[in-house]
Amino acid sequence: MYVLRFPIDMGSSRIVEMMQPLQPDDFLTQSHAVLDFIVDYYKNIENYPIQSQVEPDSAPYSSEPIEAILRDIRNDIIPGLTHWQSPNFFSYFQANASNPGFIGEMLCIGFNVVGFSWIEFATELDSIVVARIGKMLKLPSAFIFSGNEAAVCTMAAARDIALKKID
């Protein structure tokens, strides 16, 4: 059984192990347990109360095996969630979880790429996805630009509004 170690566990003789990247076999075992947990959550999501039913508590102070962590999540965290994806939840926001979304998030986390604008992968992927979505929506090419360009456009618009107030 693999135990997740917390940095505060300084009494451990295996402090070096804590600093090493994840071990493939341990990662696979833990990932399967977490994935099974998430699938079970979504199979039963309509059975949970929509809004939190518990008061906040504190995190454990020592290491725990993944099974104990998942048990704590089931018993302590899930009852404290607002279950946005539940078919019983009616609000201003749509249910936004999807298989492609989950898989995309797993890939993003797995690569752990810091997405600064000079990182080719993140910038290229952003541009490609935005262009494809824009084409699917039949948007004019003037509306198809990446997130980085959107930030620049937003700043330019804010500047123009601020300059008008000065005049």
Same domain, residue pair 79 and 104:
yes
pLDDT tens string 65-119: 899 999 999 998 999 888 888 888 887 776 677 888 888 888 888 877 776 666 6
- pLDDT tier, 32 (very low <50, low <70, confident <90, very high otherwise): very high
- pLDDT tier, 36 (very low <50, low <70, confident <90, very high otherwise): very high
Longest pairwise C-alpha distance within the chain: 68
Using alpha carbons, select from 148, 142, 104 the residue that is nearest to residue 126. Answer: 148
Same domain, residue pair 90 and 124:
no
Same domain, residue pair 68 and 8:
yes
The answer, yes or no, to whether residue 8 has pLDDT greater than 60, is no
Domain hosting 137: range is 116-167
Same domain, residue pair 55 and 136:
no
Same domain, residue pair 46 and 63:
yes
Same domain, residue pair 106 and 127:
no
Same domain, residue pair 131 and 101:
no
The answer, yes or no, to whether residue 148 has pLDDT greater than 80, is no
Q: Chain-wide mean pLDDT for the chain?
A: 80
Q: How many domains does the chain have?
A: 2
- pLDDT tier, 163 (very low <50, low <70, confident <90, very high otherwise): very high
Q: What is the CATH number of the domain that holds 105?
A: 1.20.1340.10
- pLDDT tier, 161 (very low <50, low <70, confident <90, very high otherwise): very high
Same domain, residue pair 24 and 40:
yes
Torsions phi, psi of 15, nearest 5?
-60, -35
Yes or no: say if 53 and 80 are a contact pair by the CB < 8 Å rule: yes
Same domain, residue pair 105 and 129:
no
Same domain, residue pair 104 and 122:
no
Q: Can you give the pLDDT at residue 1?
A: 45
Same domain, residue pair 43 and 65:
yes
- What pTM was estimated for this model as a whole? 0.58
